[in-house]
Structure 1
Amino acid sequence: MLPDALGDPTLLHPECAAISIPADDPFYSRFNQTCMEFIRSAPAPRCLFGPREQMNEKTAYIDGSQVYGIDDEMMNSLRTMDDGLLIAQMTNEGEELLPANTDLTNECNKAEQASMNQFCFRAGDRRVNEQVLLVLFHTVWARHHNHLASRLKNINPSWNDEELFQEARRIVGAQLQHVTYNEYLPPIFGENIIKDSKLKPLKNKKRKNFYIPDKSAAISAEFATAAFRFGHSQIAGHMERVDDFGDISSTETSSVFMNPFVVYMKGAVPQLTRGEVRQSAGDVDPFFTPQVAGKLFKGMNMFGLDLMSLNIQRGRDHGIASYTALRASCDLSSIHDFPDLSGIMDEDVIEILEDVYSHVDDIDLFVGGLAEHPVEGGVVGPTFACILLDQFLRLKVGDRYWYETNDKDTRFKKEQVKEIRKTTLAGIMCEVIPELTEIQAEPLKVASLENPVVSCSSFQELDLSHWKE
């Protein structure tokens, strides 16, 4: 950006909301940076005057769209159109990876890697290459789809490609829903909120009509722009890999952004998986690792973007209400002045907020939400818990195809839903990464006495005999 543009708003493009960097910034001043690029979210087309509204590109539902895409064009581009399978590339060692994105104009691809026939990856979500562990998770679920499709063909040899694909896709979507609500959400909210809100999956063969037609599953701006970004503060400063002998190596987190080529190395998938499940996430708080606070997407440069600044600016771009306004809408204790934050946040954090913001009502939702003490047994504070709970409840009751439904038009058979409820993330990871041999029972939590490492042979595959026709 031209320096003159900072002082003259008329020189700025209307879709640019660049972030000014103080001349004495402790990090960026070393590189003479006074401006951080920021492009506004695309506005939704509308014919009425009023506040700008942004578009959601992805589907709201937990439907496996990260595996299959959001429309038929993308989905079909990921299919082999044979035996219900997704396209995969096989390495020389016989390892199954996501399909390659051979477009050399793609910002992720690099000429040196392309010369070795190594390209960035394609998946149902175009952000797949943003960081290597995201590639890993996409790989797990794409492999799982193909494993399911192959097993369904063995059980129902008369099924055609479309039948195999759609049923495998249907099962994957159901398992994603189950893992999300059974394994991912409880540590975020704590058992009390999970129990009171009835978020936990039903038991055995039970089915229920959760669907409420007038409840929208649409993603709220507060959820997408602030609350669900809580995990950004948990990002570790390094990424670990564990080899077959248990030896650990690590690399700086900033080196894995838009740089997924390590996945092509022999044994990288199991090594990255072992490293990922053994690392503990950081606390949810206003403190970020320097690997994303100044070095995000830095590539070969000495500096990059600051994730916290981007999140704050995105909240302002989307026009979401302040921290105190959202806290009030959640029927939490009212905040009228900075001293009212005492007991809600650490005192040293309150002092910093008072120094930065002119009034307590100016505190950005993202900042205030991160600063709160966590709810009992959970990792987020009460304001973020309120926003997250609202969204995950609506994702369930606003989905006519929710896997536990008893709707005769969309339901699974009783024995099928019982099998789906046996799904564990550990079981799926063991199924598609046979080199693992062992993993803790709940991979989203670190191993402990309560969460022991067990043999992969202890996890049973989905019994697909209940899908035999």
Structure 2
Amino acid sequence: MNFFSLHQGTGTPVVGNDATSATACPYDDVITCDATYKYRSFDGSCNNLNNPFFGRKDTPFERLLTPEYEDGIEDIRVTPHKSSDTLIGPRQLSTEYHQASAAANLQLPVEAHCNVVIMTGTLDTTTVGCAPIPVPVTDPFFGSFGRLCLNFARALPDTDILCDDTYRQQRNRVTHFLDASTVYGSDKATADSLRTFSDGDGRVNQNPMLVSMHTIFLREHNRVARELKSLNPSWTTKGLYQESRRIVIAEYQHIVYGEYLSALLSIPVAALLGLLPKFFGYYNNYDPEVNPAVRNEFVAAAYRSGHSTIDSTISPGELLKNHFFEPSTIYDASKGIDFLVSNLVQNQQQTMDRLKTDQVTNHLFQFSDGDGGDLAATNIQRGRDHGLPSYNDMRELCGLPRATSFNAGPGGLEHHTADSANRLNSLYTDPDDIEAWTGMSSEMRITGGVFGPTAACITALQFDYLKRGDRFYYENDLPGTKFTTAQLKQLRRASLARLICDNTGINSIQKFVFWDTFPGRVPGGWNDLVPVKECLEVN
């Protein structure tokens, strides 16, 4: 891969021509910031003192590349690049390429990753305007139910944060930062109203595994608050809350950069790009010129590549389709949070490839068979809604060669299997038409990681922006906001295993929960289960 030099860029947003908006720019409003305030705002404003809107909620996603709309402005693309035909429909592409994976479609033992997910809160859009996904009458699943379309609404349109472009952007309704806003919310009103089954991310109840992970972080906040109260009995409730929040955000960032990215990108790639936390000392690369905003190419394509790894069950015999929007599962005496988390950390992911479980391609958020959605088709349509450039364009951005043919190997789809390449050839007229998400989610993964090279590149760029552009990043050496070296030493002991040990009743866990541990699967026993008491504690 040749994308390693890209992470040194400033992340300046791509804009269109020099024409300015005919209406007042909503991001020209004056925000007064207190440079001495120790804590993050809930909505992300004033993180950047020079550009208070950078990373704030209700601001647009940024771009790495100029978008591709049918009319060059906002219409969903329906025409191939080099043909007058019509692009294949999202549902047809889903059924003919992203077919159902088998239960045994697991990762190879030597590099197995478990099912644990981490919440980044990088996408929350209000949708407006219908753009339904057509369902062919011959559809192998929905056809028998007479379904002619799947629900789809376009993302809320926005301007660029500079208000000087002429094409459609999309708005992020949560903060762009890795600030645990999935736990605390992205505004004060949400933060003040949090209760059970209502946390900072409105999607928390989508499935019980997500509820479980959110609950663990909420419990961690309360655990830290109790510890701080015992050490500082004179602190106010507000002071305890803010300091606990500050610590939990730091733990969260340490887990994301220290463990999660190592699993997604592989340890060598994460280290080479400077994404891993430091072993000691401070991080000195904060750059106020970097806009940390989430990039469209990441949120609407690269990061969604992980949908390929979704398993069909939440536990042996328990199909995922039966547990959408059923958070009450965690109260089941035999299937509570401890049970769910144990399954998450001990069960392997599905393999990163073109195949997706039918639990999300035929049964997504269903109430009964036939009325659900298709996550693969939704991802394809969302990419077109956001005007994402092609898979080939993403590869070129990353310094990877464009595919000029549908052959597998050099000159063609060199990071795809021959089977995948042949199938793409039967569905597209030119390699330049391959959707960014379809191409990335079916790449062969890089050694030691989950993602293929193109998704890994886009993901690395995004997390670099989120790190260098965050004034409150926990390792920063900035007056007024930094942790002491003693505090950093403790925070660097944080791990997802430790949080699970502290906030559930499980008896044992592997040290690195993003990697598998089943006996015989991982050679050498380097990640064997250990008693909870052996988890390092953060003091």
Query: What per-residue deviation string (whole Å, max 9, x for no partner) do you get for residues 278-303 of structure 1?
Result: 11011111110011111101113344
Judging by fraction of residues, say which structure has more helix.
1
Q: C-alpha offsets along residues 433-465 of structure 1, whole Å, 9 cap, x if unaligned?
A: 1x20211111121114121100111124322xx
Q: Is 1:378 equivalent to 2:466 in the alignment?
A: no
1:220 is the counterpart of 2:295:
yes
Equivalent position of 1:305 in the other structure: 373
Indicate the percent of aligned positions where both proteins have the same amino acid.
35
Tell me the number of residue pairs that the alignment of Structure 1 and Structure 2 aligns.
401
Q: Deviations over 1:364-422 (max 9, x none)?
A: 00001112222222121111111000001111111011111111221001100010001
Greater relative CO, 1 or 2 (CA 8 Å, sep 6+): 2
1:200-239 to 2 correspondence within 5 Å?
A: 200-204=276-280, 206-239=281-314
Shift of residue 360 of structure 1?
A: 1.0
Residue in 2 aligned with 1:425?
Answer: 496
Residue pair 2:379, 2:437 contacting (<8 A) in 1 also: yes
* Closer/same/farther in 2, CA of residues 329 and 256 from structure 1, 3 Å limit: same
Distance 1:436 1:14, change over 3 A: closer
Q: Against the structure 1 CA distance between its residues 335 and 45, is the aligned structure 2 distance closer, same or farther, given a 3 Å change threshold?
A: closer
1:466 matched residue in structure 2: none
SS of the equivalent of 1:353 reads helix
1:212 partner amino acid: D
Q: Cα–Cα, structure 1 residues 14 and 139, in superposed 2: closer, same or farther, change >3 Å?
A: closer
| Alignment of structure 1 residues 52-451 onto 2, 5 Å | 52-78=168-194, 87=195, 99=196, 121-204=197-280, 206-240=281-315, 249-266=316-333, 268-339=336-407, 340-433=411-504, 435-447=505-517, 448=522, 449-451=525-527
C-alpha distance in structure 1 between counterparts of 2:380 and 2:477, whole Å: 42
| 3-state SS of 2:538 partner | coil
CA positional deviation for 1:192: 2.1
State the shift of 1:48 in Å: 6.9
**How big is the shift at 1:143?**
0.5
Contact 2:306 2:451 in 1 (8 A): no
Give structure 2 stretches of 5+ with no counterpart: 1-126
CA distance in 2, matches of 1:154, 1:285: 50
Match of 2:253, SS state, is: helix
What SS does structure 1 have at the residue aligned with 2:130? Answer: coil
Q: Secondary structure at the match of 2:317?
A: strand
Residue 25 of structure 1: CA displacement?
A: 1.4
In 2, the alpha carbon distance for the partners of 1:393 and 1:197 equals 8
Q: What's the CA shift for 1:49?
A: 7.4
Query: SS state of the match for residue 276, structure 2?
Result: coil
Farther-moved stretch of structure 1 (37-46 vs 445-454): 37-46
Rounded to whole Å, the distance in 2 between the matches of 1:58 and 1:342 is 36
Compute the displacement of 1:427 (Å). 1.0
What's the CA shift for 1:252? Answer: 0.4
Q: Post-superposition shift, 1:218? A: 0.3
Contact 2:405 2:413 in 1 (8 A): no
Tell which deviates more after alignment, 357-366 or 435-444: 435-444
Change (3 A) 1:154 1:374: same
Name the amino acid aligned to 1:317: D
Q: Which moved more, 1:276-285 or 1:337-346?
A: 337-346
Secondary structure of 1:239's partner? strand
Asked whether the 8 Å contact 2:221–2:245 carries over to 1, the reply is: yes
State the shift of 1:342 in Å.
4.4
> How far apart in 2 are the matches of 1:67 and 1:173?
9
Structure-2 separation of matches of 1:343 and 1:215: 33
SS in 2 for 1:55: strand
Bigger mean CA offset, 444-453 vs 222-231: 444-453
Compute the TM-score of the two structures, normalised by the length of structure 2.
Answer: 0.72
Question: Displaced runs of 4+ in structure 1, greater than 3 A?
Answer: 45-49
TM-score normalized by the length of structure 1: 0.83
Q: Say if 2:255 and 2:496, in contact at 8 Å, map to a contact too.
A: yes
Measured in 1, the distance between the counterparts of 2:164 and 2:266 equals 43
CA RMSD between the two structures: 1.6
1:266 Cα deviation after fit: 2.9
Distance 1:347 1:460, change over 3 A: closer
- Encode CA deviations 1:323-360: one digit per residue, 9 max, x unaligned: 01111111111222223324321111111111111111
Q: Indicate the SS of the match to 1:185.
A: helix
Please give the alpha-carbon distance, in whole angstroms, between the structure 2 residues aligned to 1:318 and 1:208.
34
> Distance in 1 between the 2:267 and 2:515 partners?
15
- 2: CA distance, partners of 1:300 / 1:335: 41
Specify which of 13, 26, 32 is matched with residue 140 of structure 2: 26
CA 1:14–1:273 in 2, change beyond 3 Å: closer, same or farther?
A: closer
- C-alpha spacing 1:459/1:257, structure 2 compared with 1 (3 Å): same
| Distance apart, 1:45 and its partner CA | 5.7
The 1:143–1:14 alpha-carbon spacing in structure 2 relative to 1, beyond 3 Å, is closer
Instruction: Name structure 1 gaps, 5 residues minimum.
Output: 1-12, 79-86, 88-98, 100-120, 241-248, 464-469
Secondary structure of the 2:382 match is: helix
Match of 2:157 among 19, 40, 43: 43
Q: Which amino acid aligns with 1:19?
A: I
